[in-house]
Amino acid sequence: MSFFGKLRDRLLRSSSRLDEGIGAIVDEAAPDPGAAQSRRLVDDAMLEELEDLLIASDMGVETAARVTANIAEGCLGRRLSGREVKEALATEIARIMAGVARPLPLYPQKPQVVLVVGVNGSGKTTTIGKLASQFRAAGKTVVIAACDTFRAAAVEQLQVWGTRAGVPVLTAAEGTDPASLAYDALARAQREGADLLMIDTAGRLQNRADLMEELAKIVRVLRKIDPTAPHNTLLVLDATTGQNALAQVEIFRKVADVSGLVMTKLDGTARGGVLVALADRFGLPIHAIGVGEQIDDLAPFDPDDFARALVGLEN
Amino acid sequence: MFESLSQRLGGVFDRLTKQGALTEADVQTALREVRTALLEADVSLPVARDFIKAVGRKAAGQAVTRSVTPGQQVVKIVHDELIRVLGGDDDAGALKIDNPPAPILMVGLQGSGKTTTTAKLARRLKEREGKRVLMASLDTSRPAAMEQLAILGQQIGVDTLPIMKGEDPVAIARRARTQAAMGGYDVYLLDTAGRLHIDQDLIAQAAAVRDAVNPRETLLVVDGLTGQDAVNVATEFDDKIGVTGVVLTRMDGDGRGGAALSMRAITGKPIRFVGLGEKTDALEGFDPARIAGRILGMGDIVALVEKAQEVFEAEQAERMMRRFQKGLFNMNDLKMQLEQMMKMGGVEGLMGMLPGVGKMKTQMAEAGLDDSMLRRQVALINSMTRQERANPALLQASRKRRIAAGAGLEVQELNRLLKQHRQMADVMKKMGRQTKGGAMRAAVQQMMGKGGMPDPAQMDPAALQAAANALKSGGGLPGLGGAALPQGLSGLLRKK
């Protein structure tokens, strides 16, 4: 199955709500149920319903209002069919998202250090496993450092992914200072001439100042060996998260200089409207999205596919 | 970043308060704002709609009748409604874990915190209720999930079912039941794999586990930061598996309240516990009043008090009380208070918990009132000699220059600190004279959280405002911050 097929299939299972929602809005005012295609006048009431629908997809009040306003601009006073409404929405969403779809940049720098951060349970470890396997398949030599020395069995979990991806995983005992492991890992990756070093960190809520300081320390220590490290800092976000995702991006960006986002668990959940809000507000690159638990369930982000899948349009 | 729910509501009700009596239009505007605030706090749309309707009905009936403080009146209506929805109408009682061995099934999405919560709950049951607990992981899909539970079990001293590779979840559940019955356990906890609510196969699997063991309690573990999807998660899990209670995790995050309201409104099932951290003891009972207060911006007074208790050594407080009674307040006392403030999470952490202060946070940051200021002030005091600390009146120009240089700061900053100290000492003197012991004792006890906090709803917003203003201008850090002050003191601050 093509990747788009998979994405749509999985998003559709849930985002059909947006799909149905638009259908319901349009049908509501259908003057003649027998007509081939119901149409609805785009007026204030209709726009308000549309806005609510977008909010219900986690787009946030502000972004939903902006998207609705932009649609109103071109369509106010016209009678639109459900499909036309979806097209208009998809175009608007794709426009917002167009700038942020950029793959993880690769640099000639060896080893390129990729730091992976995020709140607890967002899917950092799984994402690293998937990314490592992709880089490995592309002929890169990859080393993983398991710097989540806090959570029980986090290291074991990463080791399983390492074995699956055929990538060595550097570990330390539970309770070790993650910064020291990161330092050793970078030194070793340099010695061995690895292309990429991926650093998994413990999950932390962004309002925990002490844990954020620990993260800042990892970055400081890495820079002792390589002043340009980390070359990429990926923030892994859980698509089920609501508007708090905005706070997460803001604070992680401040502390750890996040260079790009990975959105996980896009299969099945909320429809990912929060991605639109993030793109609208921060414009940080979205490198990849995770749509399942298998090792190949991580894909580049495509704004058009995403927008169309989100509103429930066929490609 | 958008305002937190409390900031936004604070703004709305400020506007209301300034307008005297409450008109129908006022209520509508306010409710519109409340709705937006709820949505931004991730309360699910249908839940927010219902909530607004209910509040609107109640507000309309009594809105114009009393003109005391209309703002507070709406606050109270919203507050009561929040408590009503969050707490439900009848008491849920204790977990149903009589009749050993009682099975408890833990379900939820991936990454919601099931395994950690399972361990926390096991520890709670063991330590608080003296139960013999067995934990079993049915998570055959996530790598090392079973090991994680086993390690946690070791840490908290709770037995886990030995891991046997290749078993399916239903078989593990049966084995856990047998083991629990034979081993004489009171409770056995079944930690399942994370599953999406739309994944029919996995949901069916969880239902099969349910049928195999007939759990006494099925707890849905939900990330407290969940967005609009909370509705679907709650509905699907409740329909297909049947939950008897909810555990909200990550409530120590800053995305607060929203999911709690949605979960409770949709499932109608009690929220049993909230997870407040990564350690295995960070699980607390759910207190609707507390969460409602937090949502409303009345500040999490209870949390503040508890935190104060943690760091406040009784001895120090006693000493401080005796000194205050005599109206004494020197640099050592000031230093102790500054350090206390830092221990309690710094200015921001402390202010965030105080009612009505949340919305002034931004202004405070602009005014440069943050933790670096506290640290500098402590540094200044540290640069003084013992004599100088005990008697700041000694300080003349050359001493000041020496102290400032010692702390690496300007004399100006030292002057500011001295002024602040003088003002606080004045307040202490007045209080010492006025209260003659009894009230002072109560005041200090309040600071320690023993005397019980004044009801936040009854607290005078103007007094709080004044306290915050005083803070902003750097003119005197009132004790441990506004809420820890007895009400009388805020009046004194206003006079300045």
Q: Which residues pair with B222 in a beta bridge?
A: B248
| A242: nearest CB among B145, B196, B258 | B258
Q: Is the Cβ of B365 closer than 8 Å to some Cβ of chain A?
A: no
Cβ contact (<8 Å) for B41 and A243? yes
CB atoms within 10 A of CB A3: 14
Cβ contact (<8 Å) for A240 and B152? no
Cβ–Cβ under 8 Å, residues B168 and B113: no
Domain boundaries, chain B: 5-87, 102-295, 306-493
Task: Give the span between the Cα atoms of B9 and B22, in whole angstroms.
Answer: 16
Least confident of A120-124, A261-265, A310-314, B61-65: B61-65
Chain B residues close to A13, C-beta within 8 Å: 198
User: CA of A107, closest CA in chain B: separation in Å?
Assistant: 31
CB under 8 A, 24+ apart: contacts of B308-316: B308/B344, B308/B447, B308/B448, B308/B449, B308/B480, B308/B484, B309/B448, B309/B449, B311/B340, B311/B343, B311/B344, B312/B340, B312/B447, B312/B448, B312/B449, B314/B448
Chain A residues close to B39, C-beta within 8 Å: 55, 61
All residues at 6 or more sequence positions from B208 whose CB lies less than 8 Å from its CB, including other chains: B169, B170
**Which class for B137: exposed (0-12), middle (13-18), buried (19 or more C-beta within 10 A)?**
buried
Cβ contact (<8 Å) for B40 and A159? no
Task: Give the span between the Cα atoms of B474 and B494, in whole angstroms.
Answer: 14
Q: Is the Cβ of B233 closer than 8 Å to some Cβ of chain A?
A: yes
- DSSP secondary structure letters along chain A: --HHHHHHHHHHHHHHHHHHHHHHHHHHT-S-TTSSS-EEE--HHHHHHHHHHHHTTT--HHHHHHHHHHHHHHHTT-EEEHHHHHHHHHHHHHHHHGGGB-PPP--SSSSEEEEEE-STTSSHHHHHHHHHHHHHHTT--EEEEEE--SSTTHHHHHHHHHHHHT--EE---TT--HHHHHHHHHHHHHHHT-SEEEEEE----TT-HHHHHHHHHHHHHHHHH-TT--SEEEEEEETTB-THHHHHHHHHHHHH---EEEEE-TTTSSTTHHHHHHHHHT---EEEEE-SSSTT-EEE--HHHHHHHHHT---
Specify the CATH number for B5-87; select among 1.20.120.140, 3.40.190.10, 2.60.120.20, 1.10.760.10.
Answer: 1.20.120.140
Chain A residues 125-164 with CB within 8 Å of chain B: 150-154, 156-157, 159-161
| B147: nearest CB among A55, A153, A244 | A153
| Per-residue model confidence (pLDDT) at position B2 | 36
Cβ–Cβ under 8 Å, residues B3 and B11: yes
Q: In percent, how much of chain A has pLDDT > 90? A: 50
| Per-residue model confidence (pLDDT) at position B39 | 82
Report ipTM (2 d.p.): 0.83
| Per-residue model confidence (pLDDT) at position A10 | 58
Cβ–Cβ under 8 Å, residues A146 and B143: no
Is 1.10.260.30 the CATH classification of the domain at B306-493?
yes
3-state secondary structure of B391: coil
If you classify domain B102-295 with CATH, what class do you get?
alpha beta
Cβ contact (<8 Å) for B143 and A160? yes
Q: Is the Cβ of A267 closer than 8 Å to some Cβ of chain B?
A: yes
**Which class for A54: exposed (0-12), middle (13-18), buried (19 or more C-beta within 10 A)?**
buried
Q: What is the pLDDT of residues B392-404, one digit of tens each?
A: 888 888 999 999 9
The pair of structure tokens assigned to B76 is 């109270």
Mean pLDDT, residues A129-152:
92
Of the candidates A68, A144, A140, A130, the residue with the CA atom closest to the CA atom of residue A296: A130
Q: What is the 3-state secondary structure (H, E, C) of B242-260?
A: CCCEEEEECCCCCCCCHHH
Cβ contact (<8 Å) for B111 and A243? no
Of the candidates B22, B23, B25, B29, the residue with the CA atom closest to the CA atom of residue B9: B29
Give the residue from B42, B52, B142, B228 with the most A CB atoms within 10 Å of its CB, the best one to mutate. B228
- Average pLDDT value for chain A: 86
Cβ–Cβ under 8 Å, residues A62 and A49: no
Tally the C-alpha atoms within 13 A of residue B438's C-alpha that lie toward its C-beta. 0
Cβ–Cβ under 8 Å, residues B331 and B389: yes
Q: Is the Cβ of A14 closer than 8 Å to some Cβ of chain B?
A: yes
Chain A residues 82-111 with CB within 8 Å of chain B: none
**Residue at B203: amino acid letter:** I
Residue ranges of E strands in B24-169: 102-108, 133-137, 159-160
| A242: nearest CB among B144, B227, B232 | B227
The pair of structure tokens assigned to A299 is 């894909």
Give the residue from A119, A120, A149, A169 with the most B CB atoms within 10 Å of its CB, the best one to mutate. A120
Of the candidates B291, B241, B228, B295, the residue with the CA atom closest to the CA atom of residue B269: B241
Chain A residues 239-258 with CB within 8 Å of chain B: 240-247, 250
Cβ–Cβ under 8 Å, residues A161 and A126: yes
Chain B residues 7-66 with CB within 8 Å of chain A: 36, 39-42, 44-45
- Name the strands in the sheet holding A286-290, side by side, starting at the edge strand that comes first in the sequence: A169-170, A142-147, A196-201, A112-117, A232-238, A260-264, A286-290, A298-300
Higher confidence at residue A27 or residue B176? Answer: B176
Tally the C-alpha atoms within 13 A of residue B227's C-alpha that lie toward its C-beta. 27
* Smallest CA–CA distance from B148 into chain A, residue: A153
All residues at 6 or more sequence positions from B224 whose CB lies less than 8 Å from its CB, including other chains: B248, B249, B250, B251, B253, B255, B256, B259, B260, B274, B275
| Per-residue model confidence (pLDDT) at position B453 | 38
Higher confidence at residue A187 or residue A28? Answer: A187
Task: Give the span between the Cα atoms of B277 and A196, in whole angstroms.
Answer: 33
Which of A8-17, A283-292, B211-220 tops mean pLDDT?
B211-220
| B111: nearest CB among A207, A238, A243 | A238
Cβ contact (<8 Å) for B109 and A122? no
Task: Give the span between the Cα atoms of A183 and A199, in whole angstroms.
Answer: 10
Q: What is the pLDDT of residues A41-54, one digit of tens each?
A: 888 889 988 998 88
The pair of structure tokens assigned to B230 is 């909370």
User: CA of B145, closest CA in chain A: separation in Å?
Assistant: 7
**Which class for B30: exposed (0-12), middle (13-18), buried (19 or more C-beta within 10 A)?**
buried
Q: What is the pLDDT of residues A170-219, one digit of tens each?
A: 998 888 899 999 999 999 999 999 999 999 999 998 888 888 999 999 99
Of the candidates B204, B128, B220, B118, the residue with the CA atom closest to the CA atom of residue B169: B204
Cβ–Cβ under 8 Å, residues A210 and A247: no
| A242: nearest CB among B110, B147, B225 | B225
Mean pLDDT, residues A286-315:
84
The pair of structure tokens assigned to B253 is 């995050």
| A244: nearest CB among B109, B147, B253 | B253
Q: What is the pLDDT along chain B (496 residues), one digit of tens a residue?
A: 234 445 555 566 666 555 555 667 777 777 887 788 788 778 888 888 999 888 888 876 654 444 445 556 666 777 788 888 888 877 777 888 888 899 999 999 988 999 999 999 999 999 999 999 999 999 998 888 999 999 999 999 999 999 998 899 999 999 999 999 999 999 999 999 988 877 888 899 999 999 999 999 999 999 988 888 888 888 889 999 999 999 999 888 776 567 888 888 888 899 999 998 888 988 988 888 777 766 665 544 444 444 554 555 555 666 677 777 777 788 888 887 787 777 666 666 666 655 555 556 666 666 656 677 888 888 899 899 888 888 888 888 899 999 999 989 899 989 988 888 888 888 777 766 665 555 555 555 444 443 333 333 334 444 444 444 444 443 333 333 333 333 333 333 333 2
Q: Which residues pair with B273 in a beta bridge?
A: B247, B285
Cβ contact (<8 Å) for A58 and B227? yes
